[in-house]
Amino acid sequence: MLLGNWSRGRPADQHSSADRVCRYFEVIRVRLVVVDVNDNAPTFSPQRVAVTLSEQTPPKDLFPLMPATDVDSPANGVAGYRLSVLASTEPSPWFDVRVTNVSRSTSTPAAELRLVLRQPLDRETADQHHLRVLAYDAGSPSLTGTLYIDVTVADANDNAPEFTRELYSTVLLETAPRGTAVLAVSAVDRDAGDNGRVSYRFTARTQAAHGHLFSVDESTGDVRLSTDARRLERTEYVLGVVAEDGGQQASVTGVSVSVVIVDVNEHAPVIAVNAADVRSRPIPSSYLISGLKALLFEAT
């Protein structure tokens, strides 16, 4: 006789292996902390930008720039920016960067980055500026990212034409025919394009008084006779010439041109004999005949 409770096929107190496993377990909570390593440098997108500024732009905040991003943790995120000239590590005397509302968030950056003009530009001094903006993070050692900025200075009509002389003067022979080149005036404008294109004309006063005697070429500045010099009634003419640039608000500069008419020795002396004073008797070779005159038809 068997003692004990048995279930069909196995003892009543016998349990499956699965029941035994479930009876002996304990839940343990494990917290993993991932320590960030500064293995990512700040990056700009795009990495190069081009800006065009007029040379008359006043110093102020200028072009907004996309700030750099760093996918590392805030402790190793973007810490600041430095601007320098591309060809060197020196700061630019004309430009700087300004950062406001700095945030080291790894998501959308909240920093506002702007290019700042520190002093007025002059295209005639420098028409291109190549800059480098360096973003550095707070890691140790610090990592950096670079943004390249190409600034083109657009011309403004801020220069007037300048004549090569303060006063032009010349002499003109009285035998000069119509169309003779008297002289050429020349002016230079340091601006570019139409702002630096120079044309010439007489002043209104000169045009009214002497425009029928002289002319000036609009493109070359050549001053020429519009008539024969013999028809000129004065011994000196002072002409006012204006150089004007091609800007929308044209700049003008004036200069005086002095033209002196010079007599030419083209007439030989003429001997005039008074027949009433002629004597039929012989006279010594040293005798002075008062009726003999030599006339010189030249200006003295």
Size of the chain in residues = 300
Residue 50 clears pLDDT 70, i.e. is over it = yes
Q: Please state the rounded mean pLDDT for residues 36-58.
A: 92
What is the dotted CATH code of the domain comprising 48-154? 2.60.40.60
With a CB cutoff of 8 Å and minimum separation 6, the contacts of 163 are: 185, 186, 187, 243, 253, 255
Dihedral of CA atoms 39, 41, 42, 48 in degrees, nearest 10, equals -150
What is the pLDDT, as a whole number, of residue 1? 41
Q: CA 78, CA 105: separation in Å to the nearest integer? A: 9
Residue 169 clears pLDDT 70, i.e. is over it = yes
What is the dotted CATH code of the domain comprising 162-262? 2.60.40.60
Q: CA 38, CA 46: separation in Å to the nearest integer? A: 22
Q: Please state the rounded mean pLDDT for residues 119-138.
A: 94
* Averaged pLDDT of the chain: 84
What is the pLDDT, as a whole number, of residue 246? 95
Give percent above pLDDT 90 in the chain.
Answer: 64
User: Closest Cα to residue 114, out of 61, 46, 54, 51?
Assistant: 61
Q: Please state the rounded mean pLDDT for residues 35-40.
A: 85
Residue 23 clears pLDDT 70, i.e. is over it = no
Q: Do domains 48-154 and 162-262 have the same CATH topology?
A: yes
Q: Please state the rounded mean pLDDT for residues 114-138.
A: 94
- Could you tell me whether strands 252-262 and 270-273 are parallel, antiparallel, or unpaired per DSSP bridges? unpaired
Q: Please state the rounded mean pLDDT for residues 129-154.
A: 94
Residue 26 clears pLDDT 90, i.e. is over it = no
What is the pLDDT, as a whole number, of residue 297? 47
What is the pLDDT, as a whole number, of residue 203? 97
The confidence band for 89, taking pLDDT boundaries of 50, 70 and 90, is: confident
What is the pLDDT, as a whole number, of residue 205? 97
User: Closest Cα to residue 191, out of 220, 164, 218, 159?
Assistant: 159
Residue 84 clears pLDDT 70, i.e. is over it = yes
What is the pLDDT, as a whole number, of residue 276? 57
Residue 292 clears pLDDT 60, i.e. is over it = no
What is the pLDDT, as a whole number, of residue 47? 95
Beta bridge partners of 47: none
SS3 of the chain: helix, strand, coil, percent, to 5: 10, 40, 55
What confidence tens digit (pLDDT) does each residue in 154-167 have?
A: 999 999 999 999 99
Rounded alpha-carbon distances, angstroms, from residue 103 to 14, 73, 82: 66, 12, 17
Q: Where are the domains of the chain?
A: 48-154, 162-262
Q: What is the pTM of this model?
A: 0.66
**What backbone torsions phi and psi does residue 68 show, to the nearest 5 degrees?**
-75, 155
What confidence tens digit (pLDDT) does each residue in 179-231 have?
A: 999 999 999 999 999 999 999 999 999 999 999 999 999 999 999 999 999 99
What confidence tens digit (pLDDT) does each residue in 173-185 have?
A: 999 999 999 999 9
Radius of gyration over every alpha carbon of the chain, rounded to an integer in angstroms: 48
State yes or no: cis peptide before 42, omega within 30 of 0.
Answer: no
